[in-house]
Structure 1
Amino acid sequence: MVQNETYLTVCDNSGAKVACCIKILGSSKKKYAYLGDSLKVSIKKINTYSKIKRGGVYNAVLIRSIYNFKRLDGSYISFNDNSVVILNNKNEPCFTRVFGPVIKELKKKNIFGSKIISLSSLII
């Protein structure tokens, strides 16, 4: 469960390290983002040689959350951090790899879920 002004780790090789949530996309009154939701983020920390600039505003998809996620079989999944992957303004991926685990339900929730899952190394 992520809300505005939440700091998020970036878990792809786009060059960004830390991002801050500006807005949760999808509805004007949406207060919280869950796994698979789209966000508008501002980049706070970057690697030294990166094509992503500090302070830039990008779209992102939430792929890991500390908040529990309930599966259809009744089990719960939670992660240790809130993580996103960065998309550009045309909603195309800015990365070629995703670090860490990704849930398989992301494929159904987001239009870029299949692309994110194919670039990930571990699917839970």
Structure 2
Amino acid sequence: MKNHGTYFYPGDNSGARQVYCIQQSRTSLNIGDTITVSIKKSLPAQKSRVKKGSIYKAVICELKQKKSRFTHLNRSFSRNIVVILNAKGDPIGTRVKTLASFELRARGHAKIASIAPFIF
């Protein structure tokens, strides 16, 4: 189970290298949930859209933990990956480098699903 205090890796080109979960809405997290994160590592300020120590909302795109779909298909990934959002709920980065699942579109994150390279 992912709790606050979990480190995630960003799956976009916002400039962050590692983020830290500081708040979540539910006890059990799933793909498509929105969490509050703090930027722990980032690129230098000239190359980055985010600054170290700043707080943003993020959407979970991949989890290491096994999760099952309604088709009884268990899936897990190699890393915990999020996409960082701005105040309006749109992704900060212009590219998403991670896979998108149909749960993102079902939970109202169609913008992320549309710019992702692959939807499964």
- 1:122 matched residue in structure 2: 118
- Higher strand fraction (1 or 2): 1
In structure 2, what is the Cα distance between the partners aligned to 1:41 and 1:75?
29
Alignment RMSD, CA only?
1.2
Secondary structure, aligned partner of 2:97 = strand
- Residue in structure 1 matching 2:81, options 80, 83, 102: 83
Cα distance in 1 for residues equivalent to 2:103 and 2:86: 23
* TM-score normalised by length of structure 2: 0.91
Q: Is the 8 A contact 1:7 1:20 kept in 2?
A: yes
Kindly provide the CA deviation profile for residues 32-56 of structure 1, in whole angstroms up to 9, marking residues without a partner as x.
Answer: 3211100000001111221210000
Query: Cα distance, 1:61 vs. partner?
Result: 0.3
Deviates more, 1:78-87 or 1:95-104: 95-104
Give the whole-Å Cα distance in 1 for the aligned partners of 2:86 and 2:43.
17
Distance of 1:6 and 1:32 partners within structure 2: 13
Identity across aligned pairs (percent)?
36
Q: 1:72 aligns with which of 70, 73, 85?
A: 70
TM-score (norm 1): 0.88
**1:2 & 1:107 partners in 2: Cα distance?**
22
Aligned counterpart in structure 1 of residue 31 of structure 2, from 14, 28, 35? 35
- The Cα of 1:2 is off from its aligned counterpart by 1.9
1:17 maps to 2:17: yes
Number of equivalenced pairs: 118
Query: Structure 1, residues 60-87: CA drift from partner, whole Å, max 9, x if none?
Result: 0001001122122211111011100000
What SS does structure 1 have at the residue aligned with 2:118? strand
Unmatched 5+ stretches in structure 1: none
CA contact (8 A) 2:49 2:92 kept: no
